[in-house]
Amino acid sequence: MNRFAVSMTLFMIVFGFGAVTAYRTASDTYAKNVAETKLLKEEAKVKAEESAKEAETAKAETAKAAGEKPATTDVMVKADIKKGEATYSANCQGCHAAKGAGNIGPKLAGSEVKDWALAEFKTALLEGKTPTRGLNATMPRFTAGFGGAGKPPTDQELTDLHGYLKSL
């Protein structure tokens, strides 16, 4: 019986070692496959993003060559003209006069501002750069918000103001 027990013990050790080895091999292979799959997915995502950017650039260049205005990726929000008028009265009217007639600042009513995309309008107000030129240093940069609110104006506030100027 002693020999049988020893034989069974040796058998179990060998079998157990083989099972553990097989488990470790399978586990390592699985982990490696998961890591490779994750890496491949990340690479595919990066390539897709690069392709999308290249396509967007090509589309913009084609539109520019054809004399078209490039498409904008602005978030479309509805302008509240009344709020835009209130923002204008509080922040812009002092230089650009009532209803954008122009005074110290240039006339805005019926100007090129009507043709600007929201992104272009935002750049003009925050950075002082229009699509065609830089603005004078006396033009306030509303990086701290309208009325000095302390935070940048929201897209809705900019949309409202832009909508009001387009309505003039």
What per-residue string of b and e applies to 103-137 under the rule 16 or more CB within 10 Å gives b? eebeebbeeebeebbbebbbebbeebebeeeebee
- Domain's final residue, options 71, 93, 117: 71
Q: Is 76 domain-assigned?
A: no
- Domain's final residue, options 71, 100, 131: 71
Higher pLDDT, 79 or 50: 79
Q: What are phi and psi of 112, to 5 degrees?
A: -60, -20
| C-alpha closest to that of 136 among 96, 163, 97, 168 | 96
Reported as a pLDDT band with limits 50, 70 and 90, residue 54 is confident
Check: CB of residue 96 under 8 Å from CB of residue 107. Answer: yes
Residue 158 sits in which domain range?
A: 81-167
CATH number at residue 101: 1.10.760.10
What pLDDT is stored for residue 73 in this prediction? 45
pTM score = 0.54
60 and 10 in a common domain: yes
Percent of the chain with pLDDT over 70: 80
Check: CB of residue 129 under 8 Å from CB of residue 120. Answer: no
64 and 2 in a common domain: yes
96 and 64 in a common domain: no
67 and 85 in a common domain: no
By three-state DSSP, how is residue 129 classified? strand
User: What would the pLDDT profile of 105-119 be if each residue is shown by its tens digit?
Assistant: 889 998 888 888 888
122 and 64 in a common domain: no
What pLDDT is stored for residue 72 in this prediction? 47
Instruction: Output the CA torsion sign for 109, 113, 115, 119.
Output: negative
Structurally, the chain folds into a number of domains equal to 2
